[in-house]
Structure 1
Amino acid sequence: MDAWTGWRERGARVLDRTTGRAAAALVAGALPALAFPAPSLWWFAYVCLVPLLLLVRSAGTGRMAARDAWLGGTGYMIAVHHWLMPSLHVFIVILAALLGLLWAPWGLLAHRLLRGPVNGWAAGAAVVVVPCGWLMIELVRSWEALGGPWGLLGASQWQVEPALRLASVGGVWLVSLLVVAVNTAVTVLLVHSAARVVAAVSLLVGALVVGAAWVWAPQPERTGTARVAVVQPGIVEGPGSIQRRFALSEELTRSLTGQGVDLVVWGESSVGVDPVRRPDVTARLAALSKAVGADVLVNVDARQTDAAGRTGIFKSAVLVGPQGLTGDRYDKMRLVPFGEYIPARSALGWATSMGRAAGEDRLRGTGPVTMRVPGADGLRIGPLVCFESAFPDMSRRLVRDGAGLLVAQSSTSSFQHGWAPGQHASLGALRAAESGRPMVHATLTGVSAVYGPHGEAVGPRLATDTSGTAVYGVPLARGTTLYVRLGDWALYGALGVLAVFCAAEGVRGVRARRRTRPVRTATQAS
């Protein structure tokens, strides 16, 4: 017996044990996190699901496959959200286990298509249907109340130019489909010798699809440049931190005088009072705008009253010019569960005692807003606040409403030493590529970054150890991408594929029952 055979037998014995198999599923599910920042092993995304697919395939029953996939999904959610543990503690494990249930039907699907002998047709079906099932997981968990679209597998490709071009065609959803299809094809290559030609052809087709998107997908036309400054004060702690951070932001903004900027952007929660009720704060911001010669986009996290007369804590992007408040204000619409509100607070309010959950629910805005920047030839900006930059539909809507520049104001200071700042900043590349519009990601404490209309990085990133400013020559563009025109067609296509597959399985099941139904003889009938 050679060494490889020995290792295989020992591995099989481990997987035969319930605890060993459960541990393997958790680890296999967590592997894709290595493709995201901070590790940023983007190439690993194309094989990261193979261990989980092999495990699901090896399950003796559909029930066991569903359990393996559930545990794999739990591992995935813990790994890509592990930086939340200081805030939610053990509650993150409970949430991950609940969301991991979304993977159970996918496990049944993968088990059905990959188990046993697989011919060419079955292999082709697996390479198409298994990714569509995965996309349904991403769709459901992208609902804001379930945590939003953080850690979508396609988002791991934010630095890969061909993948960004593919995102301009079908959004991050199309990139996820491609990544899972490659993983499925690699799995078929490893375990089904009779279907290896089909698997290899599937990989070739995937490469051709990416090449076609690269050559023929319409891209926005460059039209000019806007000079945008990002102000990042950095970590300010201790008593009076809100006031001291505001004063530091003032000082940094004043240093931009004479640099010919068109817009200055501060991070999320950069102003801790309502400027309408505090004219002294408004006057200080207006003086900064006048000195720099550009409007200043700040972010207010305070008790305010909106246009509808509602009073409560809003997170608002507010534009300030040399004359004071311009009247342009956007209130954050999609709030972070537990961080900014407690879902079903009457039942889950106890979560506030376990971590940094919201003591009071923030109020939601009522709709998207675009704002005109006078200093940039009438450029309209589309503001987003914090994790709203994770939602593809929000940036798409802003571009359809006329935004020429997307601006996300964020603060990840609670997770300064984890993977969250880098992961959050990377989302800007996807939103820029999808929409064909540049994006500015400005934070209080880093990582701040700017991306051009193709998702390409523009200028230096401001890391988490930086307190300062940066001025970017942001390339502007006109025209629309296919994703802006057509929307989430990849999702609808995946739904259609799954509907056809389920219908075919239903017909096959009916025919199988008819074939196995016993035939009654004449004697039996009498």
Structure 2
Amino acid sequence: MRTINRWLTSPWRRSCAAALAGALPVLAFPAPSLWWFAYVALVPWILLARAAPTGRRAAYDGWCGGFGYLVAVHHWLLPSLHVFIFLIAALLGTLWAPWGLLVRRFLGGRPGPGRCAAALLVLPSAWLIVELVRSWQGLGGPWGMLGASQWQVPPALRLASVGGVWLLSFLIVAVNVAAAALMSVRGSRVPAVASLVATAAAASAAWAWAPRPETDGQVRIAVVQPGVVDGQDSGDKRFAREEQLTRRLAGRGVDLVVWGESSVGFDLDDRPDLARRIVALSRETGADVLVNVDARRSGEPGIYKSSVLVGPDGPTVDRYDKMRLVPFGEYIPARSLLGWATSVGKAAGEDRRRGTEQVVMNVGHGLRIGPLICFETAFPDMSRHLAEDGADVLLGQSATSTFQHSWAPEQHASLAALRAAETGRPMVHATLTGVSAVYGPGGQRLGPWLGTDASAAHVYDVPLAHGVTPYVRYGDWPVHGALLVLAALCAMEGARALRLRRSGPEPLVPPARTAHGSPARPGR
């Protein structure tokens, strides 16, 4: 241990160690999917920050760890953004600097039981606020939220219906803090164990109390995944492949056919021939077809990404335009300042246009669907609002073709499990090149994933449920609770500083003097 401490005396070595410690949680996400590792992955980072010699160094440890975390969970962007990904991670990593400072404040030195108990509330709350801030669309969105690593754990999905992915993140950080306290803080093992037991009891109670979604129907939904299409005229070739796969669904009793993001590369008003071909597919299959148009719209400036429902009588009036765009991928923030990013990576050459509101579409047989496009499936609030507006099924249309051989397709597909569990609504995640997946109302996986090597159309029997989950009813209440905890902490620290200022320094008492005026000696 002393050898490690001597090695960490170098600021650069310590910064590298913090970045590596911050990157460890990525192993809990797909593709490795070591979900259990999330509950101890933060321990090395916490131990490093608590042992920092100064508050400033603890803040640096938090910053460097945040840098490592962001690079790790977004590493698949490296071929597109090149060095720019490191700049973004360095800027957003500063959000964890206060968290590192709080780790040292509550766990540093020899904290008493009271400080350790407070750490189990304050540190997860501070982590949640970091996730809240970086979840803003302009800062990259909520990709890689810690709670999302639990997408395949049934008890965790049950808890997601109570407090969303936020509650899972809070509980994971609390367990990591307790584990770090058990390993390093003498005299605090009893409160740490007690806190672990209390956390387990609270999670179990929430799991038992949370209403289970009761199914009250079923719908057959087909996902069409054309696979990788290269070469010239790839848009026409992709459309032909989607058309071919969709025809195979005739006679299979399908209620809805879903194509992936950018499945149609032309505006249907400009290409009525394509619209007629989709209408013919709808008549052959007996189902509406949800396509995604990525094109310059006739009579309007700019390019939109839009979900368009096409029935046997033609495109319906229902159209959803993507609202939350991918920074640098679909638009460049402050293009006048950051437009140079197009010269160092595959940043957007032209900004996409934004939609203004979410849409719930009416499909035949009384089915109501809520479409989301690609990046938007990462946002818990968007799927929650669709459930509030009466959507029976959530539909995500995505295209991760650029990142085909990375962890991105699996990570993206896993997010739909969280959205389904949070809302109590089944979710379909349809892509161009994989991974496509379908989840039931409780977040359970239905049928096979269509991997990145698949070119197929698959039919899923999707159960329907219409109960209201606590998360849909009460919203992001874990975030609100975290804000109250930090507000209370700030108020207490402010009151303490005010008391110290009012009391002032201790008055200097002159030493007693003898009758001759000389200072009295001790003992006299």
Q: Same fold (TM over 0.5)?
A: yes
1:4 aligned partner: none
2:118 aligned partner: 125
1: CA distance, partners of 2:172 / 2:428: 27
Write out per-residue CA displacement over residues 21-61 of structure 1, whole angstroms, 9 at most, x where no aligned residue. 01101100100100000110000000000000000011111
Secondary structure of 1:101's aligned partner: helix
The one-letter amino acid of 2:376's match is E
1: CA distance, partners of 2:13 / 2:350: 43
2: CA distance, partners of 1:499 / 1:451: 38
Secondary structure of 2:8's aligned partner: helix
2: CA distance, partners of 1:439 / 1:334: 19
Write out per-residue CA displacement over residues 244-269 of structure 1, whole angstroms, 9 at most, x where no aligned residue. 00000000000111110000000000
Query: Which of 430, 433, 436 is the equivalent residue of 2:418?
Result: 430
1:476 aligned partner: 464
Q: In the alignment, is the contact (CA less than 8 A) between 1:412 and 1:443 conserved in 2?
A: yes
Q: In the alignment, is the contact (CA less than 8 A) between 2:26 and 2:69 conserved in 1?
A: yes
Question: What are the equivalent positions in structure 2 for 1:244-323 lying under 5 Å apart?
Answer: 244-304=237-297, 310-323=300-313
2:165 aligned partner: 172
Q: Does 1:59 align with 2:52?
A: yes
> Which segments of 5 or more consecutive residues in structure 2 lack a partner in the other structure?
512-524
The one-letter amino acid of 1:83's match is W
1:218, CA displacement in angstroms? 1.8
2: CA distance, partners of 1:521 / 1:183: 49
Q: Does 1:205 align with 2:198?
A: yes
1:220, CA displacement in angstroms? 2.5
Q: In the alignment, is the contact (CA less than 8 A) between 1:442 and 1:448 conserved in 2?
A: yes
1:352 aligned partner: 342
Higher-Rg member (1/2) = 2
Question: What are the equivalent positions in structure 2 for 1:450-461 lying under 5 Å apart?
Answer: 450-461=438-449
1:508 aligned partner: 496
Q: In the alignment, is the contact (CA less than 8 A) between 1:266 and 1:443 conserved in 2?
A: yes
2: CA distance, partners of 1:56 / 1:513: 29
1:399 aligned partner: 387
> Which segments of 5 or more consecutive residues in structure 1 lack a partner in the other structure?
1-7
Q: In the alignment, is the contact (CA less than 8 A) between 1:234 and 1:466 conserved in 2?
A: yes
Secondary structure of 2:497's aligned partner: helix
Secondary structure of 1:290's aligned partner: helix
1:517, CA displacement in angstroms? 1.1
Q: Does 1:370 align with 2:360?
A: yes
Secondary structure of 1:462's aligned partner: coil
2:329 aligned partner: 339
Secondary structure of 2:188's aligned partner: helix
Q: Does 1:148 align with 2:141?
A: yes
1:215, CA displacement in angstroms? 1.1
Q: Does 1:19 align with 2:12?
A: yes
1:3 aligned partner: none
1:518, CA displacement in angstroms? 3.0
The one-letter amino acid of 1:380's match is R
1:324 aligned partner: 314
2: CA distance, partners of 1:392 / 1:293: 33
Judged with a 3 Å threshold, the aligned counterparts in structure 2 of structure 1 residues 522 and 196 are, in CA distance, closer, same or farther, namely closer
Query: Which of 408, 425, 445 is the equivalent residue of 2:396?
Result: 408
Write out per-residue CA displacement over residues 423-479 of structure 1, whole angstroms, 9 at most, x where no aligned residue. 000000000000000000000000000000000000110000000011000010011
* More displaced stretch, 85-94 vs 217-226: 217-226
1:512, CA displacement in angstroms? 3.8
Write out per-residue CA displacement over residues 266-287 of structure 1, whole angstroms, 9 at most, x where no aligned residue. 0000000000221111000000
2: CA distance, partners of 1:518 / 1:23: 44
Q: In the alignment, is the contact (CA less than 8 A) between 1:219 and 1:480 conserved in 2?
A: no
1:219 aligned partner: 212
2: CA distance, partners of 1:262 / 1:212: 39
Q: Does 1:112 align with 2:105?
A: yes
Secondary structure of 1:311's aligned partner: coil
Secondary structure of 1:461's aligned partner: coil
Between the two proteins, what is the percent identity of the paired residues? 65
Write out per-residue CA displacement over residues 58-99 of structure 1, whole angstroms, 9 at most, x where no aligned residue. 111110000111000000000000000000000000000000
Secondary structure of 2:371's aligned partner: strand
Paired positions, count:
511
1:5 aligned partner: none
Query: Which of 383, 389, 397 is the equivalent residue of 2:371?
Result: 383
The one-letter amino acid of 2:168's match is V
Q: In the alignment, is the contact (CA less than 8 A) between 2:215 and 2:464 conserved in 1?
A: yes
Write out per-residue CA displacement over residues 195-232 of structure 1, whole angstroms, 9 at most, x where no aligned residue. 11111111111111221122111232211110000000
Q: In the alignment, is the contact (CA less than 8 A) between 1:162 and 1:210 conserved in 2?
A: no
Q: Does 1:74 align with 2:64?
A: no
Query: Which of 430, 440, 451 is the equivalent residue of 1:463?
Result: 451
2: CA distance, partners of 1:241 / 1:279: 19
CA RMSD of aligned residues (A): 1.3
1:511, CA displacement in angstroms? 3.1
What TM-score does the superposition give when structure 1 sets the normalisation length? Answer: 0.96
Write out per-residue CA displacement over residues 410-429 of structure 1, whole angstroms, 9 at most, x where no aligned residue. 00000000000000000000
2:475 aligned partner: 487
2: CA distance, partners of 1:261 / 1:269: 22
Write out per-residue CA displacement over residues 311-349 of structure 1, whole angstroms, 9 at most, x where no aligned residue. 320000000011111111100000000000000001111
The one-letter amino acid of 2:252's match is Q
Judged with a 3 Å threshold, the aligned counterparts in structure 2 of structure 1 residues 301 and 65 are, in CA distance, closer, same or farther, namely same
Judged with a 3 Å threshold, the aligned counterparts in structure 2 of structure 1 residues 101 and 425 are, in CA distance, closer, same or farther, namely same
Write out per-residue CA displacement over residues 136-189 of structure 1, whole angstroms, 9 at most, x where no aligned residue. 100000000000000000000001111111110011001000000000000111
The one-letter amino acid of 1:517's match is P
Q: Does 1:90 align with 2:83?
A: yes
1:394, CA displacement in angstroms? 0.1
2:130 aligned partner: 137
Q: In the alignment, is the contact (CA less than 8 A) between 1:163 and 1:210 conserved in 2?
A: no
Q: In the alignment, is the contact (CA less than 8 A) between 2:51 and 2:109 conserved in 1?
A: no
1:193, CA displacement in angstroms? 2.2
1:510, CA displacement in angstroms? 3.0
The one-letter amino acid of 2:484's match is G
What TM-score does the superposition give when structure 2 sets the normalisation length? Answer: 0.96
2: CA distance, partners of 1:379 / 1:214: 30
